[in-house]
Amino acid sequence: MTAPPAEPPRPQNGAARIAGIGVAMPPPTRQSALWEGFFAAHFAGRVRPLAERIFANAGVTTRQAVLNPLEEDVTSWSTGRRMSRFAVEVLPLGAAAVSRALADAGLAAADVGLLAVCSCTGYATPGLDILLAHQLGLAPSAQRLFVGHMGCYAALPGLGTAADFVSARQRPAVLLCAELTSLHAQPATSDAQQIVAHALFADAAAAVVLMPGAGPGYAVRDVVSVTDTATADLMTWTVTDLGFRMGLSPKVPDVLAVHVAALVRDLLGAHGLAAPDVGGWAVHPGGPRILRVVEAELGLPEPALAASRAVLDRYGNCSSPTVLLILDALTRQTPPPRYVVMLAFGPGLTLYAALLEADGERRSTSG
């Protein structure tokens, strides 16, 4: 009897894994020094007591900026001048973050198949993706993707897109999130939304390397989202003649409270998990109230969001890199959590969530 012909080997695509993380920051300044040295005078007169309370209760001790207002007041700069400065400042910061992520993954720049860049704080052509490809020595065949104006949640759709590329093409990808919010300091105002933005936001760059196959790192198991388009006006980022202006309604946490529990429940349920199975929570700290709402809606104990609060305290709200900063902190825990849920929020009003599972050397028996 003749044996049937052997089946050809099937590709083992599997889930992409985060194999390296890199972070780059401008020099830090204490929140109290920023208030006393600049913002107390900037928000002078009748609005000063409100502004002082907002700064004191922002949950921020230090934050960093390429344009420190104690040294350089940009509030009267044109948008063109701000964009020129973006091109100067963002390249070394982004290059440092990507280089550190590649070193962490043990990967050469020439091996990268896709470079995806997220930023909502500056634009230039040639873009940061092209400039980085040249400076870092990416192969001419490397594909590039630039994602702009998605705001604080951009890291997660960027992560999902890069993971899909890795799974489909079996080639490594790099995701970089680089934001220079300090470029967009606005003229003095009595608008509480603007005061909150000035009390929270900071600059940072964070990159992750995604690779195919098993090995140390975190496998990207799923990325999901929900957008409440009826509340699109609650969070805005508007291009003006004096930079980009943030609109941040105090109703945002209330909208998150409506959607976040179902989003996380469905994400975890699709993988046979529930919130108690998750040992690591990387929740974008849009502010202390947002963290309290997520904590309450998901029924999490206070220590669950310790890493998110610590990142807010040490770095401020850095927009899209922030959840990657929290993920970096979680991977440094001993032992690191087996399951991590990343949550980020932004204009739309949009909620994104990702489920990661530790693989290889980073796997532990904790939740």
Catalytic positions are 152
**Which residue, among 230, 249, 264, 253, has the nearest Cα to 352 in the 3D structure?**
264
Radius of gyration of the chain (CA): 21
152 φ/ψ sector (left φ>0, alpha ψ -120 to 50, else beta):
alpha
Note the helical H segments in 37-78: 40-42, 48-56
* Cα angle, residue 193 at apex, residues 189 and 199 outer, rounded to 5°: 85
Question: How far apart, in Å, are the Cα atoms of 55 and each of 33, 43, 63, 199, 306?
Answer: 11, 11, 12, 5, 21
- Separation of alpha carbons 196 and 5, rounded Å: 68
Residue partners of 227: CB distance under 8 A and separation at least 6: 348, 349, 350, 351
SS3 breakdown of the chain: % helix, strand, coil, rounded to 5? Answer: 45, 25, 30
| Residue 90, phi then psi, degrees to nearest 5 | -75, -30
193 φ/ψ sector (left φ>0, alpha ψ -120 to 50, else beta):
alpha
Instruction: Detail the DSSP E strand segments found in the chain.
Output: 17-24, 28-30, 62-64, 114-119, 143-148, 173-180, 203-211, 217-227, 235-240, 243-248, 280-283, 339-346, 350-359
> What are 223's two structure tokens?
């990325």
- Separation of alpha carbons 331 and 158, rounded Å: 20
